[in-house]
Amino acid sequence: MRRFVTITTLVIIVAAIALFWWRFYFVFGEGVKAGELNFVVKKGYIFKTWEGRMIQTGYKSQVPGSVQSNEFEFSVTDEAIAEKLKLSGGKVVELGYKEYLGAVPWRGQSKYVVDTIIAILDKPGPASPY
């Protein structure tokens, strides 16, 4: 009976570790998003993490005739990328990211983690009528 309990306990521990890895460290998807960088800020009580928001404009909306604005909230784990984004507020950026199934406090508040900056472009100014 003691051997059965030991084997069962080990199986449960291994299954819990595998489930934790799958839920929080398995990369579910990778992609690129582009939009106007709204902000990047370092915040947190115990774990100080970089969090940001990018505004993406679109044309598909629930209400006919209106423009929808999508927000892409993300976390940044690399300090160098966060510093570049911090200086790029209000600019149009293209960011490469990884999507996880869940967020862990030491990686950030979002399940989307930005890992590359593809491009940073200045916003085009208003067109002159002359």
- List the CATH number of the domain containing 48: 2.40.50.140
Q: Rounded CA gap, 106 and 77, in Å?
A: 9
Does 96 map to a domain? Answer: yes
What is the pLDDT averaged over residues 110-116? 95
Q: What is the pLDDT of residues 56-66, one digit of tens each?
A: 876 655 666 66
Residue numbers of the domain that contains 62 = 28-121
Q: Is 49 exposed, middle or buried (0-12, 13-18, 19+ CB in 10 A)?
A: buried
Q: What is the pLDDT of residues 31-89, one digit of tens each?
A: 999 999 999 999 999 999 999 999 987 665 566 666 566 899 999 999 999 999 999 98
